[in-house]
Structure 1
Amino acid sequence: MFSFEMSEAELLAMRQTLMQHFRARLEEEAQKAMQQKGLTTTQLEAQMKFDNRTEQLRQMRSSQ
């Protein structure tokens, strides 16, 4: 990624920073989607509990 040597500690710190950045972006996108669909966190969590993933995805896609 860079043209200079980095210690393991520096690499770990960089990875953690990148992970925090992408987590924040993901959370922002999730909040936007929830607002657009008018969902609360409780409703979203209820939708995430299922036994058959394939059937759940089919239902979610058909309701869009």
Structure 2
Amino acid sequence: MQAMLHPVDNSRLTDLRSQLIAEQHAATALIELALMKESKLKESNDQAERQRLVSSITAFCDCV
């Protein structure tokens, strides 16, 4: 059986692409902020908090 193909709505694809790019920028900004915080925690030798933050960053990156 042949699948039914639907016409592509270019404006919808453009909207989705723009949304994806905005979400990627937001995710990148969050990661950069978290890495700056991780760097400050590294300097303060708060290993437990630093490890929690690194775990959170890793989990977030796995989802993105």
Q: TM-score range by the shorter chain?
A: 0.5 to 0.7
Deviation, 1:7, is: 1.1
Q: Rg bigger for which structure?
A: 2
Calculate the TM-score normalised by the size of structure 1: 0.52
Structure with more of its chain in helix, by fraction: 2
Task: Give me the CA root mean square deviation.
Answer: 2.6
Tell me which of the two structures has the higher relative contact order, counting C-alpha pairs closer than 8 angstroms and 6 or more residues apart.
2
Q: Tell me, in whole angstroms, the C-alpha distance in 2 between the residues paired with 1:43 and 1:21.
A: 25
Q: Of the candidates 35, 48, 51, which is equivalent to residue 43 of structure 1?
A: 51
Residue 31 (structure 1) aligns with: 35
Calculate the TM-score normalised by the size of structure 2: 0.52
Give the SS at the match of 2:17.
Answer: helix
Structure 2 residue ranges without an equivalent (≥5): 1-9, 57-64
Structure 1 residue ranges without an equivalent (≥5): 1-5, 47-64
Identical counterparts, % of pairs: 20
Q: Tell me, in whole angstroms, the C-alpha distance in 2 between the residues paired with 1:43 and 1:12.
A: 35
Deviation, 1:43, is: 1.2
